[in-house]
Structures are given as structure tokens and as C-alpha cells.
């Protein structure tokens, strides 16, 4: 096979393209999050309905992740990613013309399907095209792009909404993403090691079923479901108390609050390295404790303590996600690792959708105290599941180097 090495000119092109592709995907996916309270006011809808702008595309993304890899085996890796990025960018611009929230949600549903083409294929492309000795940097660019993309989308949308309207904000975001997609299309090296394959659907479903009934892995999938759901619940509804008395934050200030997510790049790296020296269960327990501590800090009325609590929670969330997703790779059979990782992402995004949406009912009935208590409950269940997984796995399999 003809791999791309770190010394090759194409290596830098792949780095930039993976970063841009991740930014387009996750900027569009999470851009509406700071605007959920705006949607509630403008369209006179409940918080749960407003949060569907996040939950609907994420559940569409989750389901699509099961089928996009099958399609890419026929179409090719690069073509699939290019179509995904262009479709996502165009749909983001089209959402600017949706004066009905129902139409906006329909476009968001389509975006959830379109964005799935990048994360589902990017890792497969890197594993096929980049030398095993050089893949670390490109994987790092991809992961960094997911964090930066979510940050850019949430932060950019706030000031543009304050200065103009949220519709104009989405059009500008979509136009920028379109330019990034053009760069990606022309710069990403073509697939040289990809071989078209037509795996029957029943064979893929059989592989998924075999991994799904593994109780050890099922516990880890449930951890992904709960920890991502808790994270999205916190960030979906924090805008309600912070834009009300006594804080009265503007959309720009609320958008800037999402800067705290950048601590995720630090905690992910830190816990990834710690996994070489400590058990996954111990690290996940620590991450859960950090999440609970951060959530409880947000109950303190002082604004700066709330912001600190949000940052601490984000640190713990990324640590937990890094630990759990890595644990899936270790605990799954060698011939089922790709399938197990796909199912983890499926549970991860379904948790984002279902728990994120249901938090709206908790907010209406119990306000912020109810949200925090629900989050703490979910995190404590994650801890219990980690104990179950460690007992089933055994100490040897819990270490990152096993």
C-alpha cells in the first residue's frame, strides 16, 4: 500500500482538511445551542420543543451513522465526505430563510443526516491512507477540529444574532462552511488504498447484533448515552437562568460562555495519557466525580462560580468520554472493534438527543435545581456502570496498553 508519511507534502494537506471538515460538521451541528431560549421567546414554544433544534439532528446523525459507512464502501471515502460537507453548508444557509420553526426543524433534521457523512468516514480514511507511524498527528487534528468546531459554531452565532438576527447568523455560518468545503474538496488527497466493497446489509446487522449483546460493552454504551446526555442537558438549558434576572447575559456573552469547552482538549489529552498508567474504571470514577462537582457549583448564585462550575463539568465530561470510548476499543473483540465503536457513537448521540430534549420538561417543572439533580443522577449511574464493566472485564483489560 502507498501510505502518506509525515514527511510528504500531502500529509499537511490532510491535517488541514481534517481540521476544516470537523469544524464544518460540528459548528453547524451545535450552533443553535446558545439560541434555545431565543427560540422559546420568538416562537412562544416550550424549552423542550426549542431544544429539538439540537436533539432532532443529533438523533438523525446517530441513526445515519449505521448506514453511511455501507454507502461509502460503494461511493468512495473522499466523495462521501465532500458531499456531506457541501450538503451541510448549503442546508445551514437555507435555514436562514425558514421563518417557521417547523421548517427550521425539518432543515435541522436533514442536517443531521448530512453531517453524518464526515465523522463516519474520516477515521476510516485516515486509517487507510496515513502511515501507521504518522497517523497520530492527523487523528489529533480531527479530534481538535471536533472541539474547535463546536466552539466556533456556538460562539460565532451569539454576536451575529445580537448584531443582526439568528437567520443572518446561520447564513453567514453556512457561507463560511461552504468555503471550507471548497478547500476540502480541492485539497484532500484522493483515496489510494480504498477498495470498493459491497457488504450485504444482513451481514452488517449480524455484526452489530453480536456486539450489542455483549453485556460488558453494553454497559459502556450506556455510559456514553448518559454522560453525553448530561452534558447536552446542562448546556441546552443554562441559557435560561443566565439570560434572566439577576444576570441578564446577552446572546454574545452567552455564546462566549462556550469557550469553556476548550478545556476538553486539555482533559482529553491528559486522561488519554493517564490511561497508560491507571485503570479505566479509576479514571472514569474520577471523571464522574469532577462532573458532579462542576454541576453542583452551578447552583451557587454568583455568576463567576456558575461559569467555573460549567468549566469544571466540561473538563469532567471530555475526560469521561475519552476514557469510555477508549475502553470500548479495548474491551471489544479484535474483529469487531469498528462495529463496537460505531455502536458507542450511536448510543452517544441518542443520549444527546433524548436526554437533551427531556431536560426541557425538568426545567419547566423544577428549574435549574431539577436540571442539576438529574445530571448528578445520570453521572452516578455512569459510575455504577463503570464498576460493572470493570468486574466483567478484569484488571488486565482495563489498562490503556492492554
Report pLDDT digits (tens) over 351-378: 999 999 999 999 999 999 999 999 999 9
Write down the pLDDT at residue 402.
31
Is 314 in the same domain as 340? yes
pLDDT band at 261 (very low <50, low <70, confident <90, very high): confident
List C-alpha distances in Å: 37 to 22, 42, 243, 256.
26, 9, 8, 16
Q: The domain spanning residue 252 has which CATH number?
A: 1.20.1250.20
H or E element at residue 354 = helix 337-393
Q: Are residues 128 and 221 in the same domain?
A: no
Q: Which residues pair with 4 in a beta bridge?
A: 130
Task: State whether 170 and 250 are in the same domain.
Answer: no
Do 215 and 164 fall into the same domain?
no
| Rounded CA separation 30/105 (Å) | 13
Provide the percentage of residues in the chain whose pLDDT is more than 90.
Answer: 52
Question: Residue range 51-73: average pLDDT?
Answer: 87
Residues 371 and 258 in one domain: yes
Residue 381 has pLDDT above 70, yes or no: yes
Q: Are residues 181 and 203 in the same domain?
A: no
Residue-level pLDDT at 193: 77
Other CB atoms within 10 A of residue 245 CB: 6
pLDDT of residue 398: 40
Domain check: are 298 and 383 in the same one?
yes
Query: Are 70 and 131 in a shared domain?
Result: yes
257 and 290 inside one domain = yes
In whole angstroms, what separates CA 146 from the centre of its chain?
7
How far apart CA 277 and CA 259 sit, in angstroms, is: 30
- pLDDT of the residue at 391: 72
Please tell me which residue, 355 or 142, carries the higher pLDDT value.
355
Flag the least confident range among 58-62, 113-117, 323-327, 398-402: 398-402
Q: What is the pLDDT of residue 275?
A: 76
Highest-pLDDT range among 237-251, 339-353, 385-399:
237-251
**122: burial class by Cβ within 10 Å (0-12, 13-18, 19+)?**
buried
> Could you give the C-alpha distances from 344 to 44, 123, 129, 181, 251, in angstroms and in order?
36, 15, 24, 27, 33
Tell whether the model's pLDDT for residue 252 goes beyond 90.
no
**pLDDT score of 297 more than 60:** yes
Who wins on pLDDT, 247 or 277? Answer: 247
Task: Tell me the average pLDDT across 306-324.
Answer: 92
Domain boundary among 190, 223, 243: 190
Which percentage of the chain shows pLDDT scores above 70? 89
Whether residue 213 is found in the same domain as residue 184? no
Report the mean per-residue pLDDT for the chain: 86
- What is the spatial distance between Cα 136 and Cα 395, in angstroms, rounded to a whole number? 27
Domain count, the chain: 2
Pick the last residue of a domain from 152, 172, 190. 190
The pTM score is: 0.81
d(CA 345, CA 357): 18
Residues 236, 356 contacting (CB under 8 angstroms): yes
Give me the mean pLDDT over the 235-253 stretch.
91
Residues 1 and 126 in one domain: yes
pLDDT per position as a tens digit, 64-100: 887 887 777 778 889 999 999 999 999 999 999 988 9
Cα distance between residue 216 and residue 378, in whole Å: 19
- From the list 259, 368, 261, 386, the residue with the least C-alpha distance to 324 is 386
Q: With 90 as the cut, is the pLDDT of residue 216 above it?
A: no
What per-residue confidence (pLDDT) applies to 214? 75
Of the ranges 48-52, 180-184, 203-207, which one carries the lowest mean pLDDT score? 203-207
Range of the domain at 50: 1-190
**Do 220 and 141 lie in a common domain?**
no
Mark which of 145, 164, 190 sits at the end of a domain.
190
279: helix, coil or strand?
strand
Amino acid at each position: 500500500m502507498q501510505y502518506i508519511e509525515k514527511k510528504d507534502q500531502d500529509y499537511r494537506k490532510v491535517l488541514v482538511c481534517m481540521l476544516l471538515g470537523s469544524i464544518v460538521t460540528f459548528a453547524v451541528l451545535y450552533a443553535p445551542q446558545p439560541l434555545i431560549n431565543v427560540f422559546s421567546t420568538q416562537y412562544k414554544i416550550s424549552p423542550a420543543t426549542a431544544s429539538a433544534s439540537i436533539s432532532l439532528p443529533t438523533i438523525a446523525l446517530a441513526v445515519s451513522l449505521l448506514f453511511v459507512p455501507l454507502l461509502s464502501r460503494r461511493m468512495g471515502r473522499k466523495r462521501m465526505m465532500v458531499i456531506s460537507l457541501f450538503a451541510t453548508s448549503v442546508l445551514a444557509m437555507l435555514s436562514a430563510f425558514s421563518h417557521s420553526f417547523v421548517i427550521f426543524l425539518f432543515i435541522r433534521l436533514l442536517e443531521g443526516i448530512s453531517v453524518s457523512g464526515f465523522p463516519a468516514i474520516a477515521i476510516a480514511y485516515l486509517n487507510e491512507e496515513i502511515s501507521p507511524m504518522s497517523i497520530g498527528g492527523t487523528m489529533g487534528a480531527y479530534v481538535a477540529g471536533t472541539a474547535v468546531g463546536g466552539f466556533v459554531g456556538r460562539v460565532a452565532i451569539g454576536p451575529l444574532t445580537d448584531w443582526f438576527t439568528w437567520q443572518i447568523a446561520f447564513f453567514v455560518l453556512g457561507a463560511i462552511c461552504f468555503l471550507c468545503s471548497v478547500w476540502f474538496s480541492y485539497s484532500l488527497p484522493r483515496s489510494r488504498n480504498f477498495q470498493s466493497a459491497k457488504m450485504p446489509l444482513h451481514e452488517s446487522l449480524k455484526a452489530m447484533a453480536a456486539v450489542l449483546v455483549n453485556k460488558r460493552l453494553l454497559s459502556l454504551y450506556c455510559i456514553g448515552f448518559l454522560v453525553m446526555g448530561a452534558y447536552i442537558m446542562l448546556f441546552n438549558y443554562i441559557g435560561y437562568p443566565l439570560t434572566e434576572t439577576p444576570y441578564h447575559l446577552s446572546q454574545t456573552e452567552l455564546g462566549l460562555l462556550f469557550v469553556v469547552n476548550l478545556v476538553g482538549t486539555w482533559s482529553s489529552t491528559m486522561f488519554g495519557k493517564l490511561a497508560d498508567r491507571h485503570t479505566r474504571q479509576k479514571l472514569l470514577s474520577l471523571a464522574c466525580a469532577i462532573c458532579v462537582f462542576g454541576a453542583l457549583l452551578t447552583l451557587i448564585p454568583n455568576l463567576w462560580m456558575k461559569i467555573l462550575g460549567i468549566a469544571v463539568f466540561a473538563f469532567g465530561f471530555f475526560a469521561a468520554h475519552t476514557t469510555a470510548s477508549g475502553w470500548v476499543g479495548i474491551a471489544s473483540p479484535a474483529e469487531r472493534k469498528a462495529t463496537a465503536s460505531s455502536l458507542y457513537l450511536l448510543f452517544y448521540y441518542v443520549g444527546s438527543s433524548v436526554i437533551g430534549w427531556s431536560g426541557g420538561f425538568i426545567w419547566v417543572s423544577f428549574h435549574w435545581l431539577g436540571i442539576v439533580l438529574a445530571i448528578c443522577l445520570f453521572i452516578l449511574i455512569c459510575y455504577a456502570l463503570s464498576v460493572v464493566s470493570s468486574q466483567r472485564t478484569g484488571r488486565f483489560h482495563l489498562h490503556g496498553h492492554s
